[in-house]
Chains A and B, each alone.
Chain A
Amino acid sequence: MPLSPLYISLKVAFVATFFTMLFGILAANRVVKLKRFKGVIDGIFTLPMVLPPTVVGFFLLLIFGNNGYFGKYLAQIGMSVVFTWQGATIAAAVVSFPLVYRTSRGAFEQMDQNLVYAARTLGMPEWKIFLLIIMPSCWPGVAAGTILAFARALGEFGATTMLAGNIPGRTQTMSLAVYSAVQSNNREKAFYWVIIIMGISFITMLLMNYWTGYQERSKRKRA
């Protein structure tokens, strides 16, 4: 049995999680500071979580398709994300982005703002405050969101099919492999991927619980 869906899934999920973490944290940090249009922008950032994946896929095609708003410029330099693993990554990243964004935002908002104010009056530059004070105290929340986002990216199906298709060996992830196997009445193959997906997802959740417990323990050690 070819293992390519496993590789593709992991590659897509890791790369997508890297970008969602980066952009999710930055977006949350920006939105928290906004004075106007906060609700609107927050709504837009959260939308991929509540929209049907097919709708997200539709929009992605509209933007990244070879005739899309952004895709046509990519096409001019000979690049295309449609039917590629990069496309699958974009789809997974967009769908899992709100999970990092929302948990990070919650963590930033719950933080004691006096810590930031104190750091400012002491003369610390904003980037240093973000890295040395905000991130460490919000990290448990951000990390939990990132792990959830990884699990979500790993299982992404709808938007991925629409943008990247279901090409064995190129864009077929594990969840797509399950779909194809069921379609072709290959129960055995479906079971095989189902068990692998469940194993990875379960391990991810275990890791998250262990992580939260570890955070609690190290906090208690300081107390």
Chain B
Amino acid sequence: MILSVDIKKKLGSFFLNVSFQADQNILGLLGASGCGKSMTLKCIAGIVTPDEGRITLGDRVLFDSAKKINLPPQKRLVSYLFQNYALFPNMTVRQNIACGVRGSKATGQQIINQKIKALYLEGLEDKYPSQLSGGQQQRVALARILVNEPLVIMLDEPFSALDSYLKWQLEMELISNLEEFSGVTLFVSHNRDEIYRICDQVCIIDNGKSEPIVKTPLLFDKPKTLSAALLTGCKNYSQIRDLKNGLIEAVDWGVTLACAEPVPKDACYIGVRAHYLTPVASEGQNTIPCRILRITQDVFSTIVMLRPFNSPNLSDFANLRIEMKREEWAALGAKDELFVHIHPYNIMFLR
């Protein structure tokens, strides 16, 4: 079963233009807050109508602006796990789950009991949603979706409403609960770690526009665009000028760097992850002389903000950020100035 989405919608000054195809592998939609991820899900569910485009699921057309097809949400077989789970507060756990049953009542009871058992909700059947913990609420919402037997499950930031110490466990629970689901799964998040752990492939949505789908490991190893690099947590960027012969000028950092790969024609930026910048004692090839701006102690690491000496760019964009273990930083001996080295292999070219 393939879910194919190609839609456009204008909302004031915001323009949503999303297109992707999802199959059985979990597809992550990664983007900053307000980039149109939830709006995309709402369009697929039929809650919001796109201005134009086409949404198909297998051989069924859910939406087609040209043919004036717009199936109501009730008939799409697309389910939506809301951020706040949207459990009906006036109904018990069992009644909530029963709302998801599409078929007859008799077979419904059976499948309800089965899901209550599978999702460890036994004993909670007669409780109201407000009497449950966040994790229990999520399992009820998931049970309600699973008895519905949808073809697509869409998860909208399912962990954002939870305390962080709960997240890890719930994440594993959710994934194992979804394992037997054979339809299309979309997972929306602004959290790169969740996406990396949960999704097989990722579609980046940047300010309403979708980028081509990539395999998750590839996105993190070799992001292609500046926004992809930003969303995957890369911290250091510079505009570049190609000097040929394997050399580039990192304009914002005011240095010339050697790179391991030929420079792609459409590259405008380079990015280097914070843990690939290593402090060194003296100047050499691919080193950047810097002034220390700020030292922040994190739980297990030290984060140091640096300003390249020769940087012509006055904005924070040119600043460098390095991250290392606390002991390593202490062993280095804090100074006002620092050389950082970038290995040619660790330079990522970005559009």
B-binding residues in A (CB < 8 A): 112, 114-115, 117-125, 132-133, 136-137, 222-223
Contact = CB atoms under 8 A, between A and B. Distances in A.
B89 A114 contact: no
Q: Is the interface of B mostly helix, strand, loop or mixed?
A: loop
A120 B72 contact: yes
B74 A115 contact: no
B86 A120 contact: no
Given A133-B88, A136-B90, A222-B89, A121 B80 contact: yes
Contact of A118 (B75, B86, B90, B128): B86
Dominant secondary structure of chain A at its interface with chain B? helix
A222 B130 contact: yes
B136 to A, nearest CB: 14
Contact of A223 (B73, B78, B102, B131): B131
A115 B99 CA distance: 12
B76 interface: yes
25 contacts: A112-B84, A115-B88, A117-B47, A117-B80, A118-B80, A119-B99, A120-B45, A120-B72, A120-B73, A121-B45, A121-B46, A121-B47, A121-B76, A121-B79, A122-B100, A122-B144, A122-B148, A123-B74, A123-B102, A123-B148, A124-B74, A133-B90, A136-B90, A223-B128, A223-B130
Contacts of A136: 90
Given A122-B100, A122-B144, A117 B82 contact: yes
A132 B91 CA distance: 9
Contacts of A123: 74-75, 102, 148
A133 B90 CA distance: 8
Contact of A125 (B74, B79, B100, B150): B74
B150 to A, nearest CB: 8
A20 to B, nearest CB: 24
B84 A114 contact: yes
Contacts of A119: 88, 99
Nearest to B92: A222
B99 A124 contact: yes
Nearest to A222: B128
B82 A222 contact: no
Nearest to A139: B90
A127 to B, nearest CB: 12
Nearest to B100: A122
Nearest to A223: B130
Interface string B35-65: 0000000100111000000000000000000
Nearest to B149: A123
A200 to B, nearest CB: 32
Contacts of B46: 120-121
A114 B89 CA distance: 12
Nearest to B77: A123
A121 B41 CA distance: 12
B155 to A, nearest CB: 13
Given A117-B73, A121-B78, A123-B102, 16 more contacts: A112-B86, A117-B47, A117-B82, A117-B86, A118-B82, A120-B47, A120-B72, A120-B73, A121-B45, A122-B145, A122-B148, A123-B74, A132-B88, A133-B88, A137-B88, A223-B128
A202 to B, nearest CB: 31
Contacts of B128: 222-223
